[in-house]
Structure 1
């Protein structure tokens, strides 16, 4: 009996997980499972054990065995052809998403894949995107073999239907090229313009000066015709829609500067090519910083991102891989354990325990028997089953979540305040130019052209664009440091303007796996807990996993005659004891309990011992966050669960919070729309497919995830679950973003006023323009960087304080 209490743990040599037994060994190394041991043997056989020297315990747990025919569909050339990036007579290029990539050991091993598979020629790893590019000789190996080798070493590629239907867009490098051209031309024009800056101090002779001016004209043409194209399209789009955005006055300033400079060069004057190219160069830097996206994240996803490419169709008692688009009503498909159901169908063989939490938000799995309908999007948790397809993939319930007319016809989110500000700024500049023209028309008409063009040049709102671009870009980077990834700069403004916050419950407030387990009844000895854990470990039911977590990792004891009764419980012999885990009737309880939450009774040798109550637990640090939000925003909670936790949830969210239970996806969407009709700016925070419509409809939709590289519903932002307690700090930082831009704009106005003093008099010289333009741009960049970094440090200090709060709230 004492042997059970001395349950010491040894870290697995491969993955670092606790080993519940020390009998899985090889060369004095201990492994948690045969899968990890197999991976070590593969690496040792190919002299790749340097993998373990780069990082401590770098491997991925291999306790879950992948079936051998999982990638059989890749043998179908018609399917494989749609995945290839390139193929010729001997060479094929393919890209795989590998979510398990996490350290330098992973990079080293993947780049040495050619030592494991003969036909592999080169592997390039993109760590941030968790993708690898594999170049292989298809005469020596196959796509299926490569996928299986990757899986055998712990790096199973994730291949979804989205990969088949949506080719990845090529990387757009045009902005980089435009920036390079603008920078080259701007730098050389500045050098060639030095004689004109100091013409009064005895520079070059007139012939060389004129030569340099024509050279400046030649260098300015690529900037005008190529680099500045980044501003032409948005300006034209704004004009077509009758909206004066910030790009219109910038384009006007670029053309006016070029035309005036061109006329001056032909008249023997220096022109302002340096100012024109400088404007384009600095603004392209800001735009590149702002437009930098997180290529490893996908904010726009549909149901195809969650489905596999192919499914096993039963034909003549054999499993035949068939792509989902080719699946038809009447086909019989086999769903393997822990696989997603891809189409609505009727069970014809096997028993089903379906987890619909990703679709409906209901956390409890649903038992289904032969003859019952199961819907696409559920995950099978209890062995294999066969279903008769009654609706094709494109017509299933899951697909309908994305194809609602309300979402297709939804209004676009609000326009940036920068564009609204620039509209008034532009009209003021045009008014000043008109008054100046009228004044000089009465007194000295010859000065109209130089004065008006100088005003349009010096009053260009490039400083405002620089302020917004650099501030937005830096704020996005600061947020990403804290594992909060926003889609774009507009999402920052939308988040700052929020007036109502809506939470999903299951998976968002409670977490996917978090649970509070309490045992009532006769005291259990350590040996009895180990036996109960051994039996519970045979089941994939979430309640069984919670019991295993409560009792501790089981020793590898033989479980005999294990039986699972869906909707009732499990039973079996462990170490000579017959144990039942399940509902009251199954375990032989005569009186039902009065506990809240899910209840699992336990009996040993047909004697009732007690019961486990299992309740969802709210995320760590959630209580202080809700207390902070309660005083600032109206709060709502939408849950697909029933209302058995309403009292605890109301206590957490406050008496003024709105709590709605048994909410279907359409109900959540309708609630968001009703709030918006009342004038609210809604932030929706969810995690599941059932939240996809509400996330898309809301003014700012935040998808919560345990891993930012995992697939999440379509959203405006992706937030790591551990960072949820920092939500209010993130909102404050987004609000500070607007203040920083306005401060920078005030500074730019000081430069504009200085420049206008010379411009309205028609005496703006190239030297004054050359000083004011770079000075304003550089000072604005430094100001926005300093202010953003200061706000980021404030966020960081609050983050440390809040994350140190380990409060845990039982549900």
Structure 2
């Protein structure tokens, strides 16, 4: 009697999903293809990170063999570490690594939980589109080599490029997509050629006898189209459904599999020729559309333009003279001066001065770090104290500085229109599935031969992509155009908030007034040359507009200072040539019941009051006209730390209903804005970015106004130079117009889908034409919003 053996069960690796030749490598009844995959599982299991396997099916990367023990030994070299690290203070380090193996949500989840694998990892953040990870870690007992070995042991071996001229990957062609297009196009052309007997529909034709044979050939040709060229649509759809998300690829994948199964059934049962030409053409044109979209988006990408328009400036010392230049013009070896509260724009070595560096931009920790002469200070650090001189070691990374500006430590949550669009897109896809099913049922009873064409056409033609693309391209283009017009905004959410502003709060000094052409008069005992030198040496350390005016006014030498301190909104002090020098307000000098007229700065040396500087600053050109325009639909307020001497002048400039408050401390300004917000106002605060940091952060939008953009604050959402303040009404108007463009594009997208669906449900649109129209709709929306914002900006600016 013959014994029937059971068919062999296919063995797959629990970690990566590859085939296993046998079940020799096991762990907890789970089978692995190699020792490497088993090792990764053991690491995750030991650290309670097996939720990794719940997010995706077999999400891991195959580990052919464990990482060689000495492979990353070169990372112990201190010179190589300096070249790779973004930041290191001896205790904490930060690095960005490229991980080409990142491919799904499980990868992101695992890599952002590295701190559970090793306590020395403080934070890890994945940039999925760039396939990069940023890791902040403690250096004690855990170096760069150990970090890279840890990441590599999980199957994500980094690409480490030690070349100074790192190759840019931005313009690289996605070769996998090109191969898929090539295969789909080849099969599409041949399937059409082999379908000629069906097209001719003549039984007398010489080719008609081969019709069935050609059908089988077509079925063979379409297999690589479905299972290779269209594989990403199935993977994305499956991944979304597994995570209970119906993404845009679900209806596309459903349409493809429906056409394939129906065609296969008709050909094998000899009941018809199927729709394989339409299926191959559908996949081909979808992929061509995907490539064209990618090419268009790269061309219109705003990120590159945005960073290049961001004009951070820095003070460079040449022949002992100070010059302000754009940071992009900095070169290795340049000597730069950084004052209190200013940002170090590039990695540089401390040459002179006492550095106390706040790295909150880089690490989120605001505790200052002391740096000695000869030691390296990393880009993004902020000096706290007297000015320092540095020698530039590395070229400036503009994109890195703007990335620091957007650090999540300084972010805040906004109710964004983006979240509403995401929800709309999700329900949109669900609605399309219902419409497709209803269409299929209708034609099943009316004209069965149209069921599959109409069902698939509905699934393909309706696409929420245009909805999703509108905001990043419309507001991204607006960011770039704002930059050209002199306003540098933090992100797209800032533009959304600007469009809602109904209340503006102005600081006076350095905002409504300009530092150039200021007049200075000293009242008190006549200053000796030594006293002038002491006062100027102190004033030169501060970035405050009044300090800069005093520095320019006094014609004397500069001395080295010690124990420099700056008190926001009050004054500064230091030891100069062994004497205590103080500059500041009456409150800072502890003077009571003093009547002041105008902007006043008191000077004191060793406890002896010398007198006071009266400073008269002209108001910026165009302010009166600006305030008239703003008054039409926005309430205006003035919060000044100065006395009321300028009140009459301001009352003539501002509308009668404007609210004005003087002698305001920094906390007073913050509390005032908080009160406005509690009355449902969207507040724009405009200040100098230094003394108004608290108020700028409290406001819905914080706009810093500066004469030279050599410092920017995490509290601000936008920065502009003082000479551009008269454009404020145009800036706000353009933000509203940009949001209008977004809404119009939504309507266009909706109309496109309604019109397309109306043709598809009537059976007037083939899946092939739908595949051509779908990417064109997205591209047309992108082109529309880009051109519309450009035209609006041309009219405004």
- TM-score, scaled relative to structure 2: 0.51
Alpha-carbon distance change, 185 to 482 in structure 1, aligned in 2, over 3 angstroms: farther
1:292 aligns with 2:303: yes
Match of 2:500 in 1: 497
Contact 2:689 2:712 in 1 (8 A): no
5+ residue gaps in structure 1? 1-84, 99-160, 241-247, 313-318, 326-332, 337-375, 383-401, 559-565, 573-580, 585-591, 602-607, 797-811
Q: Deviations over 1:460-483 (max 9, x none)?
A: 122333443432332222222223
Contact 1:510 1:616 in 2 (8 A): yes
CA offset at residue 282 of structure 1? 5.5
What is the alpha-carbon distance in structure 2 between the residues aligned to residue 411 and residue 583 of structure 1? 37
1:632 aligns with 2:623: no
Pairing of 1:303-318 with structure 2 (within 5 A): none
Match of 1:484 in 2: 487
Contact 1:249 1:461 in 2 (8 A): no
Alpha-carbon distance change, 485 to 519 in structure 1, aligned in 2, over 3 angstroms: closer
SS in 2 for 1:193: helix
1:655 aligns with 2:656: yes
1:213 aligns with 2:252: no
1:256 aligns with 2:254: yes
CA offset at residue 458 of structure 1? 0.8
1:277 aligns with 2:287: yes
What is the alpha-carbon distance in structure 2 between the residues aligned to residue 569 and residue 307 of structure 1? 22
CA offset at residue 437 of structure 1? 4.7
1:788 aligns with 2:789: yes
SS in 2 for 1:618: coil
Match of 2:269 in 1: none
How much is the aligned-residue C-alpha RMSD, in angstroms?
6.2
Q: Deviations over 1:439-492 (max 9, x none)?
A: 346545775555344323211122333443432332222222223233333332
CA offset at residue 184 of structure 1? 5.7
Match of 2:777 in 1: 776
CA offset at residue 321 of structure 1? 9.1
Q: Deviations over 1:111-137 (max 9, x none)?
A: xxxxxxxxxxxxxxxxxxxxxxxxxxx
What is the alpha-carbon distance in structure 2 between the residues aligned to residue 473 and residue 672 of structure 1? 29
Match of 1:346 in 2: none
Match of 2:471 in 1: 468
Contact 2:356 2:383 in 1 (8 A): no
Question: Which of 508, 516, 520 is matched with 2:511 structurally?
Answer: 508
What is the alpha-carbon distance in structure 2 between the residues aligned to residue 703 and residue 583 of structure 1? 22
Q: Deviations over 1:523-572 (max 9, x none)?
A: x9xxx999999897666368686367468x67x999xxxxxxx9999999
Match of 1:39 in 2: none
What is the alpha-carbon distance in structure 2 between the residues aligned to residue 705 and residue 567 of structure 1? 20
Match of 2:60 in 1: none
What is the alpha-carbon distance in structure 1 between the residues aligned to residue 585 and residue 749 of structure 2? 71
Contact 2:453 2:766 in 1 (8 A): no
What is the alpha-carbon distance in structure 1 between the residues aligned to residue 704 and residue 538 of structure 2? 30
1:412 aligns with 2:414: yes
Alpha-carbon distance change, 433 to 674 in structure 1, aligned in 2, over 3 angstroms: farther
Contact 1:413 1:699 in 2 (8 A): no
1:457 aligns with 2:452: no
Match of 1:679 in 2: 680
Q: Deviations over 1:49-69 (max 9, x none)?
A: xxxxxxxxxxxxxxxxxxxxx
What is the alpha-carbon distance in structure 2 between the residues aligned to residue 502 and residue 219 of structure 1? 59
What is the alpha-carbon distance in structure 2 between the residues aligned to residue 249 and residue 225 of structure 1? 11
Pairing of 1:138-153 with structure 2 (within 5 A): none
SS in 1 for 2:628: helix
1:540 aligns with 2:539: yes
Alpha-carbon distance change, 763 to 191 in structure 1, aligned in 2, over 3 angstroms: farther
SS in 2 for 1:722: helix
Contact 1:687 1:712 in 2 (8 A): no
Q: Deviations over 1:346-386 (max 9, x none)?
A: xxxxxxxxxxxxxxxxxxxxxxxxxxxxxx9975599xxxx
Alpha-carbon distance change, 626 to 612 in structure 1, aligned in 2, over 3 angstroms: same
Question: Which of 503, 517, 520 is matched with 2:519 structurally?
Answer: 517
CA offset at residue 163 of structure 1? 13
Residues paired across the two proteins, number: 530
What is the alpha-carbon distance in structure 1 between the residues aligned to residue 292 and residue 216 of structure 2? 31
What is the alpha-carbon distance in structure 2 between the residues aligned to residue 677 and residue 534 of structure 1? 48
Q: Deviations over 1:590-644 (max 9, x none)?
A: xx9985332789xxxxxx9x99731344334333322221212112233444444
What is the alpha-carbon distance in structure 1 between the residues aligned to residue 171 and residue 504 of structure 2? 38
Alpha-carbon distance change, 538 to 458 in structure 1, aligned in 2, over 3 angstroms: closer
Contact 1:685 1:695 in 2 (8 A): yes
What is the alpha-carbon distance in structure 2 between the residues aligned to residue 760 and residue 708 of structure 1? 58
What is the alpha-carbon distance in structure 1 between the residues aligned to residue 494 and residue 191 of structure 2? 45
1:189 aligns with 2:184: yes
CA offset at residue 517 of structure 1? 0.9
Alpha-carbon distance change, 379 to 461 in structure 1, aligned in 2, over 3 angstroms: same
Contact 2:230 2:283 in 1 (8 A): no
Alpha-carbon distance change, 583 to 652 in structure 1, aligned in 2, over 3 angstroms: closer
Alpha-carbon distance change, 174 to 765 in structure 1, aligned in 2, over 3 angstroms: farther
Alpha-carbon distance change, 784 to 209 in structure 1, aligned in 2, over 3 angstroms: farther
What is the alpha-carbon distance in structure 2 between the residues aligned to residue 236 and residue 700 of structure 1? 40
Contact 1:504 1:638 in 2 (8 A): yes
Alpha-carbon distance change, 295 to 788 in structure 1, aligned in 2, over 3 angstroms: closer
- Of the structure 1 ranges 170-179 and 203-212, higher mean CA displacement relative to structure 2 is found in 170-179
Match of 1:714 in 2: 715
Contact 2:501 2:682 in 1 (8 A): yes
What is the alpha-carbon distance in structure 1 between the residues aligned to residue 772 and residue 370 of structure 2? 73
Alpha-carbon distance change, 505 to 378 in structure 1, aligned in 2, over 3 angstroms: farther
1:596 aligns with 2:598: yes
SS in 1 for 2:518: strand
Alpha-carbon distance change, 544 to 708 in structure 1, aligned in 2, over 3 angstroms: closer
What is the alpha-carbon distance in structure 1 between the residues aligned to residue 356 and residue 573 of structure 2? 35
CA offset at residue 742 of structure 1? 3.8
Match of 1:94 in 2: 83
What is the alpha-carbon distance in structure 2 between the residues aligned to residue 465 and residue 191 of structure 1? 32
Contact 2:689 2:716 in 1 (8 A): no
CA offset at residue 794 of structure 1? 1.5
Pairing of 1:264-413 with structure 2 (within 5 A): 266=264, 269-270=276-277, 271=279, 272-278=282-288, 280-281=290-291, 292=303, 379=385, 412-413=414-415
What is the alpha-carbon distance in structure 2 between the residues aligned to residue 172 and residue 225 of structure 1? 33
Alpha-carbon distance change, 672 to 218 in structure 1, aligned in 2, over 3 angstroms: farther
